[in-house]
Structure 1
Amino acid sequence: MGGVGWEPPTKPGAKPTEPGTATDFGPLFSPRTVAVAGASATKQGFGNRFLQAYRTAGWTDGTLFAIHPTADRIDGVPAVPSVADIPGGVDYLLVTVPAAQAPALVAGTAGAARFVQVVSGGFGETGAGGADRERELLDALRSAKTRLLGPNCLGTYAPRGRQVFTFGQSLEPGPVSVLSQSGGLAGDITTAGGRRGIRFARVVSLGNGIDVAPGELLEWLVDDPETEVVGAYLEGPRDGARLVRALRRAAGRKPVVLLPGGLSRQGAEAVASHTGSLAGDDRLWDAIAAGTGAIRVSTLEDFLGVLRMLQVYAHRPAPAGSDVLVVGPGGGASVLATDACDRAGLTLAPIVAATRQALRENGFGAGTSVSNPVEVPIGPASAPDLAARVLGPVLAGQPYPDVLLHVNVQSYFSYGTGDLTPLVDLLGRLPELAGPARVTVAARNLDTAPGDAADRIGAAAVAAGVPLFGTLDAAATAIAAVKRWTRSQATEGRPA
């Protein structure tokens, strides 16, 4: 099953998409005109929410339209009976009508819409009747000669193009693009990811993926100048062979993080009813990752953490080597940090003897370790220069490529006054203190912080450009991922 030359078969019923049939997806993410079909003139529905989200993002008359058989305006947006009534057509049509009405609506877009996204569910994911309706939608798509996302998908998010699918989405662009076969999860990724500092270029939910599928979009993202890091949540993509070819093209050029879903027996049943896809096999995804250099993760927490880590460090040089330096309060926490690193395949190379002696002479090491992990009392009572007095001599004598600093957030409240200023200041200084090394922070017990303390700590880490994690294992997993990417670049002959 494994090996670099192995390719999974294309799923039955998939629309052939050969590599030579290239589509420019630029207008999908940065459309000049957008229309929403399915908004109601008398009540609030899904289509109305999309109109409101677009208006909030700055879309105005002449660029945003509602499609409605009788209304002149809906929620303040100009309405026309069909896309054909919009001069010049539209780049992006978002369809929220019931599933039974979607094929006829798509058929009527011939020559008037470059991309159509069908939000509605009720197709292949619902069984035999829905599969028949899905075939009707494909027939309509062929007659219209347009490209279709979905059905059963949420939308497209691209800050530079003001593409949004929820209220309050940030329009601050970034380098991370994500493909998701789940619309709800795409919303989680943009919201939760945004809070931890991930800034997005393009996010698209693909749903059932009967036309545009992950492999084709990944091919395009590999060449997209706005995308530096790619993430993909997949539930048995229909264009598996094309996806693998695209992953090979990305190797050494752009890191790709894969989060496969539906690998357990019960998960496979959930996938079938979610997007109508065929579930994968755990070994299959291991083989794909091994053969293409993609980074595979198993949880949403690790998916977001690795994307954040790669956003910060994927294209920043670091000292050569596979080692990691662990620094933080002593006792069991340092032992657990070491265990977490070991589970992630990281090596804690001991600090050289001369540096250990210098640390002891500097007042460290009495009753604790100065070998690696370095046990120092970082906390509410520590001196402001404590981290500098440790990191300075250690990194000067031994250039570790990665530093994992762990702190106990709870101690600032249990043993201190609750003043987080020392911790916030430390986060701000860490990039300078670490020098060329990649520095990562595990804020243990962050969930116990009262009030808005966790938000303040998170915001400080984002402002400093320091990846922040709530557990030691999450931090170690992210460090291991960026190391794998560095090795991939070296293997492909590109500078790390």
Structure 2
Amino acid sequence: MAADARVILTARKNRPVSEPEKAESGDPLIEFKPLFEPRTVAVLGASSKDVAIANTFIRRLKDFGFSGAIYPIHPSAEEIEGLKAYPSLGETPEAVDYAYVAVGAGRIPDVLAAARGRCRIAQVISSGFGEVAEGRALQADLVAGANAGGVRVLGPNCLGTYSPRGGLTFPSDAPRELGRIGVVSQSGGLSTDIIKRGQWRGLRFSGLVTIGNSADVEPHELVAYYLADEQTKAIGVYIEDIKRGRAFFDLLRSAQPTKPVVILRGGRSAQGRLAAASHTGALAGDGKAWEALAAQLPVALVDTVDEFIDVLLALQHLDLRPEKPTRNVALFGNGGGSSVLGTDIFASMGLDVAPFGEAARLPLEALGLPPGTSVVNPIDTPVRTLQEKDGWVAGEILDIVYRHAKPDVVAMHLNLAAFVGRGAIDPVGNLFKVIEETQAKWPGIAHFALALRTDGSPELDESRRHYREKARKIGVPVFDEIPAMARALATIAHLEQRLRSRDTSAPLG
């Protein structure tokens, strides 16, 4: 690693004297099990008279299917949301795995100290701490109170945890299916976008944790959990500040097993750094350190939420192949102009849509496809071609491509508007059956990705949503446009190359 990047990644040497030292754990799966799979949840800040945010949290726990005990904490109420209330964290019938804290900032240090070793993790939604200058001393008091009470703290200034396996959620109507993507985010609002927008695009999560100011639990600790978690296949991180960059880097460098990490970083510009400071009190680091990280390790840097979701979606469905990094693309779809532009996009990202050799081209020509069809690569198939044999002709085309062209990835694109009013047969639906059969027939030969384009009409957007769900069930990532698909596949190629370098080179120094 370059010397300047080493310096940038190194943590700030000294914390303020007033900030207590934190207890660090051994096994992250043990330490953070209460965060992802709590048996008991305490809720502080709910009201017996009004509907406070903590009341909403209790209702969402019930709606989402949380099966453990819920203990409202209130100094005087006997019952909240139909549940018996208790005066403090130290007085519940059994120890608390996870506490949701939504009381005034000034009360929180004493509330945490009162846990008396009977609460494992407290998530503090309240703000007014280190994200504002006048709250920094109070944040140090919060950490001191947590240490006194034997509590690890998530936050403050965070929305909490979304864990399908544990029955926890902060957004409403989040998917209950357990997925393979683990996310750590310094922004709660952005996390809601990631969950909800990801949901409609087919993304499913092993967990998502918001960390806010990360006064205690830090990003690298949660990344360590996901690295050790068998349910998690790939990791996403939204970050504005890494207090201990060296710990983060060393974790990724030494991780076994290796898992790809996608990083969306806020505060890349001078103005963004000012916004980050007011958001979470973050001091965003120099971009060179992040670039050095991605240059050496299976880490991808992305610039937007859409790209973040797209790359994680690709990682959810595609198995990385470091022994044969992605380069050669077979581009297949309807729309000549789209195929040409798609070829340009892939080429600009270092991927090749090279013409097929005779071994593939001649049998494709022998299919006798209708005029207007091109089988050179890109394979340009007008709708009337894709309607041949009610859409099943695509299976014959793909069989030849897999058998003779042997690409690293098949990138299919369909303009759904072109299929409207084409009769009672559903050639697109049949195409999904073809894709599933082809994947089963040629396992491990090539990645498969799909771009489904629409004209923006509500009807076609709903149709795309329907087909997305079909694709999710057969393990195919779906993108809105060819450029988004190309960017995601180029990132897959980058990650495969980094894994290959890691497997074949000496340890990083």
- Compute the TM-score of the two structures, normalised by the length of structure 2: 0.89
2:60 match: 53
1:149 match: 154
Would you say the 8 A contact 1:380–1:411 is kept in 2?
Answer: no
Q: Identify the match of residue 263 of structure 1 among 263, 268, 280.
A: 268
2:6 match: 6
2:482 match: 472
1:87 match: 93
Q: CA deviation at 1:17?
A: 6.6
Would you say the 8 A contact 2:298–2:499 is kept in 1?
Answer: no
The residue type equivalent to 2:466 in the other structure is R
Would you say the 8 A contact 2:120–2:151 is kept in 1?
Answer: yes
The residue type equivalent to 2:348 in the other structure is R
Would you say the 8 A contact 1:365–1:375 is kept in 2?
Answer: no
1:104 match: 110
Structure 2 counterparts to residues 374-389 of structure 1, below 5 A: 374-378=379-383, 382-383=387-388, 384-389=391-396
How far, CA to CA, are the matches of 1:469 and 1:72 in structure 2?
Answer: 51
Q: CA deviation at 1:449?
A: 4.9
2:414 match: 407
Name the stretch that deviates more: 359-368 or 205-214: 359-368
How far, CA to CA, are the matches of 2:276 and 2:77 in structure 1?
Answer: 39
Would you say the 8 A contact 2:129–2:136 is kept in 1?
Answer: yes
How far, CA to CA, are the matches of 1:193 and 1:65 in structure 2?
Answer: 32
Q: Identify the match of residue 398 of structure 1 among 381, 405, 411.
A: 405
How far, CA to CA, are the matches of 2:326 and 2:415 in structure 1?
Answer: 28
How far, CA to CA, are the matches of 1:82 and 1:438 in structure 2?
Answer: 54
Structure 2 CA distance for partners of 1:418 and 1:203, relative to 1, 3 Å: farther
Where structure 1 has 5 or more consecutive residues not aligned to the other structure, the ranges are none
Q: Identify the match of residue 26 of structure 1 among 20, 30, 33.
A: 33
How far, CA to CA, are the matches of 1:83 and 1:20 in structure 2?
Answer: 22
2:468 match: 458
How far, CA to CA, are the matches of 1:48 and 1:463 in structure 2?
Answer: 35
How far, CA to CA, are the matches of 1:485 and 1:473 in structure 2?
Answer: 18
- Count of aligned pairs: 490
Where structure 2 has 5 or more consecutive residues not aligned to the other structure, the ranges are 505-509
In structure 2, the residue corresponding to 1:201 is in which secondary structure? strand
2:119 match: 113
The residue type equivalent to 1:71 in the other structure is A
How far, CA to CA, are the matches of 1:82 and 1:154 in structure 2?
Answer: 22
Structure 2 counterparts to residues 59-208 of structure 1, below 5 A: 59=66, 63-126=69-132, 128-208=133-213
Structure 2 CA distance for partners of 1:319 and 1:330, relative to 1, 3 Å: farther
How far, CA to CA, are the matches of 2:288 and 2:56 in structure 1?
Answer: 41
How far, CA to CA, are the matches of 1:21 and 1:252 in structure 2?
Answer: 17
How far, CA to CA, are the matches of 1:334 and 1:173 in structure 2?
Answer: 36
How far, CA to CA, are the matches of 1:259 and 1:93 in structure 2?
Answer: 28
What does the per-residue CA deviation read over 1:368-406, in whole Å, with 9 as the maximum and x for residues that have no partner? 542221111246962212312321112211211210001
In structure 2, the residue corresponding to 1:152 is in which secondary structure? coil
What does the per-residue CA deviation read over 1:348-380, in whole Å, with 9 as the maximum and x for residues that have no partner? 232112321222232248555422211112469
In structure 2, the residue corresponding to 1:443 is in which secondary structure? strand
Q: CA deviation at 1:110?
A: 2.4
Q: CA deviation at 1:116?
A: 0.9
The residue type equivalent to 1:95 in the other structure is V
The residue type equivalent to 2:75 in the other structure is P
Q: CA deviation at 1:323?
A: 0.9
Q: What RMSD, in angstroms, separates the aligned Cα atoms of the two structures?
A: 2.6
Would you say the 8 A contact 1:29–1:161 is kept in 2?
Answer: yes
2:367 match: 362
- Compute the TM-score of the two structures, normalised by the length of structure 1: 0.91
1:244 match: 249
How far, CA to CA, are the matches of 1:3 and 1:223 in structure 2?
Answer: 30
In structure 1, the residue corresponding to 2:359 is in which secondary structure? helix
1:43 match: 50
How far, CA to CA, are the matches of 1:112 and 1:334 in structure 2?
Answer: 61
Q: CA deviation at 1:43?
A: 0.8
Would you say the 8 A contact 1:446–1:470 is kept in 2?
Answer: no
Structure 2 CA distance for partners of 1:443 and 1:100, relative to 1, 3 Å: same
Would you say the 8 A contact 1:2–1:291 is kept in 2?
Answer: no
In structure 2, the residue corresponding to 1:80 is in which secondary structure? coil
How far, CA to CA, are the matches of 2:58 and 2:27 in structure 1?
Answer: 30
Would you say the 8 A contact 1:19–1:242 is kept in 2?
Answer: no
Structure 2 CA distance for partners of 1:288 and 1:427, relative to 1, 3 Å: same
2:497 match: 487
Q: CA deviation at 1:227?
A: 1.5
Name the stretch that deviates more: 442-451 or 148-157: 442-451
Structure 2 CA distance for partners of 1:63 and 1:408, relative to 1, 3 Å: same
2:349 match: 344
Identity of aligned residues (%): 36
Q: CA deviation at 1:419?
A: 6.4
Q: CA deviation at 1:58?
A: 3.0
Structure 2 CA distance for partners of 1:209 and 1:172, relative to 1, 3 Å: same
Structure 2 CA distance for partners of 1:466 and 1:379, relative to 1, 3 Å: farther
* Residues 1:234 and 2:239 aligned together: yes
How far, CA to CA, are the matches of 2:297 and 2:334 in structure 1?
Answer: 39
* Residues 1:422 and 2:424 aligned together: no
Name the stretch that deviates more: 104-113 or 2-11: 2-11
The residue type equivalent to 1:58 in the other structure is G
Structure 2 CA distance for partners of 1:419 and 1:158, relative to 1, 3 Å: farther
What does the per-residue CA deviation read over 1:122-152, in whole Å, with 9 as the maximum and x for residues that have no partner? 11112x2121221221221222232111000
